[in-house]
Structure 1
Amino acid sequence: MSEADRRALGVVVCSTRAADGTREDLTGPRIAQWGRDRGFEVSGPHVVPDGPEVADILRRLVDQGCALVLTTGGTGFTDDDHTPEATSALIDRPAPGIAEALRARGLRTTPHAALSRGVAGISGRTLLVNLPGSTGGVREGLEVLGELVDHALDQLGHGRPSERPLHT
């Protein structure tokens, strides 16, 4: 598949406990399956501890030309939750409406959704979005993104899978 035909999704799980094996991650596989169901070529889930590794993998996925990069975890208030800062460092143009929509959807279920510091924005032609680390937060976030992502990626020059020519 050529770079022009590629519509890749990068999935990053930001969790020290999942990275060291003390907790099973259930969110990354859910995001990856969501992407495959929508015709994305999926990279990941990449499970990394909170900290500098988050910025490193995000940069690598952007540099690889992913159309969309979704993170899960690291958006809370604890001392090692730095996913929004790592993401913001790569963003050329913020997309605050996406982060607001994610929080608004979460608030229908739990007031804790207001504690998410997740951000969204564009780095080059890549859309970056932080999702919460809970399975419920991911499920709800994917519901929101399911309504928005095709149009957003169309605007960034990534055609929908059904609009790209098949290569044999």
Structure 2
Amino acid sequence: MSELCFLKNMVIQLSSARLCNQLNLMQVSIYSFMHQIDTSIRVLSWKNFVCNFQLEENLPLIELDPQLLKQAVINIIKNAFEAMHESGTTDVHVFYEEPFMSIAITDHGGGLDPALADTIFQPFITSKTGGSGLGLVITRQIIESHHGTLTCDSRPGDGCTFTIALPLTQN
């Protein structure tokens, strides 16, 4: 039965990857967008897990596909949750450095195995039991479809910071 669930999840992930070419762009307040992320995380009821949001003041509107980008941000937060063994604090810092709006997600889950650090964005490579190795691949694809970048700064023994940098407009 676990193989069936694994294959089902893989098909769902591969299907969602194709959606990156069909963005439903709109001008969005990053404050309301991050509030939706916070609400979604609270609905998941992850006990012993805290996600702190810090947003700079006076951030401009940003053009994005809220559903797809929400999927990308929550996937990174979910990875942080799992890396910290479902207990701990993750910090989400949103800031603007022209020409990009950035979302930095920092966990304290021990960081990446240096042997895997260069492969985390490659398909089918995972350190998770039962993982498909597609989560970060699809997350990066969503962000790149917004003309943005996804980077990872690993601090072995401490944690990771994944930073999403997005231009304000998609033209």
Same fold (TM over 0.5): no
Q: TM-score, normalised by structure 1?
A: 0.28
Q: Which has the higher strand share?
A: 2
**Which structure has the bigger radius of gyration?**
2
Q: TM-score, normalised by structure 2?
A: 0.28
Q: Which has the higher helix share?
A: 1
